Structure 1
Amino acid sequence: MSAAMSGDPDNKPSGSKRTLTGRCQCGAVKYEVADAFAYAANCHCSDCRRMTGSAFKPFAGIERDKMKITQSEESLLISGDEMNHDVRCRTCGSFLYSIVRDGGYVHVCLGTLVDDPTIRPTEHIFVGSKAPWYTINDHLPQYERHVFEGPPVKQ
């Protein structure tokens, strides 16, 4: 696997023991997550655009047991069901992460990380529903829906 696919630009093993910290805007909620993300992308689906109030949601995915809330779990605002939901800070409204893939993974909103993760987004997904006013200006692969659903729209 290439360094870009493993999320490590320096070609170091992705099984790093490094721990990253993250938080909401007001600082009420804090979390820790292993710097061992399995993948990262920029999601352009209409749900992510509405949740972030932006053109896309930059996120990194990791197994659920590799992330933990370290401060103010009672301040979490959960939207969805037990197995798939979005999590915000109840105080400031910051969108922190999503529980996905039937509860097995966490999609951490990269903007909430205090520390710089090793991984970088490697693709744009759901560009078939991207904001018409936004132009993607990088050379990452673009997928109409999801990476596993067909070839890139353009390379």
Structure 2
Amino acid sequence: MVRKLAGKCFCGAVHYTVANEFIYAANCHCSNCRRTTGSAFKPIAGIERNKLDLIKGQDKLLIFGERDGNDTHCKICGSLLYSIVREGAFVHVAMGTLVDEPSIRPTAHIFVGSKAGWFTITDDLPQHQAHLVAAGSAGE
């Protein structure tokens, strides 16, 4: 049986579950991820959209973008919960919103071509100037 992970926003108004079956995980340094998180990068874990279930707070969502490409926040506290990507087929879960620990870890830094100049990457993960392009990758 697939283990489900719990996730929620800062204030607790929005809760979700997601299968612990992530296909990829990366640290995204693109300017959009930096702006939505207020941080140097956003750790993301990618999974098929149908493997994430909103269990509380549907009416508390603030969605920036379209149905098949957006950033989904809590409209109460502003937490970025996940992004809908790849024409609506995948979800990039903001790993910081997971309550339970996923089995996956980020394996690369993406969009380092637009990373914050004040931040230095100090680990040994591969660095990609843009997105990964291999099948099942972190490409947006």
TM-score, structure 2 normalization: 0.94
Q: Which residue of 2 aligns with 1:66?
A: 51
Distance 1:63 1:17 in 2: 14
User: Could you tell me how far 1:72 is from its partner in structure 2?
Assistant: 1.1
User: Could you tell me how far 1:21 is from its partner in structure 2?
Assistant: 0.2
Off by >4 Å, runs of 4+ in structure 1: none
User: Could you tell me how far 1:148 is from its partner in structure 2?
Assistant: 1.8
Q: Which has the higher strand share?
A: 2
For the residue of structure 2 that corresponds to 1:138, the secondary structure is coil
Q: Which residue of 1 aligns with 2:94?
A: 109
User: Could you tell me how far 1:63 is from its partner in structure 2?
Assistant: 0.2
For the residue of structure 2 that corresponds to 1:147, the secondary structure is coil
Q: Select which of 118, 139, 149 maps to 2:124.
A: 139
Bigger Rg, which one: 1
Highest RCO, 1 vs 2 (Cα 8 Å, sep ≥ 6)? 2
| Aligned-residue CA RMSD (Å) | 1.0
- Gaps of at least 5 residues in structure 1 are 1-15, 150-155
Matched, 1:37 2:22: yes
- Gaps of at least 5 residues in structure 2 are 135-140
Q: How many residues align?
A: 134
User: Could you tell me how far 1:38 is from its partner in structure 2?
Assistant: 0.5
Distance 1:91 1:147 in 2: 33
Identity %: 60
Matched, 1:130 2:111: no
